[in-house]
Amino acid sequence: MKAYLTFSLLFFIVHVVCYMVAGVIDLQLAKKMYAGKNRLYKSFFRNMDDDKESNRIALLLLPSQLIRAVLMSVVLYPILPALKALSFEMQFLFMGSLMFVYADFASAIPFSNTIEGLVYLQKEFVKKRVFWTIQLEAILYSIMFGLLAAWIVI
């Protein structure tokens, strides 16, 4: 049991580091989507320019990511022994691909970088520039996560 709890704790740390790094990098490219008077996601994202909203988001950031990380790590418990048997490269490929495919691109959530989004969202949300800007964050996260997660599985 201790090994599983340790895995979940390390998973949380890896997830938060990758989430923050990829998010900060992508935010530099996507500021007009998330902030400002004419932001793309104005109709459904909270206003980060509002101090009250920004503080609320900052307060909920770590607890929400802890919940996500615990849920994602627990789902992997049954296959941890099989993962440990894989080489570092295969662990990286599996963990990175898992995050990219299941958590992002093939997610059932319609967003600017998902298959569902390409099908259901209005054109302004899935223009090439918007799609690739948001996809960049998913790719960065997945690569970093795959590398660090493979390190903790060993």
Residue 19 has pLDDT above 90, yes or no: yes
Residue 153 vs residue 89, higher pLDDT = 89
Residue 17 has pLDDT above 80, yes or no: yes
Residue 128 has pLDDT above 90, yes or no: yes
Residue 154 has pLDDT above 80, yes or no: no
At position 147, the amino acid (one-letter code) is L
Task: With cut-offs at 50, 70 and 90, classify the pLDDT of residue 112.
Answer: very high
Q: Which pLDDT does position 85 carry in this prediction?
A: 95
Q: What one-character-per-residue DSSP string does 49-102 give?
A: TSHHHHHHHHHHHHHHHHHHHHHHHHHHGGGHHHHHHS-HHHHHHHHHHHHHII
Residue 134 has pLDDT above 90, yes or no: yes
pTM of the predicted structure, to 2 decimals: 0.91
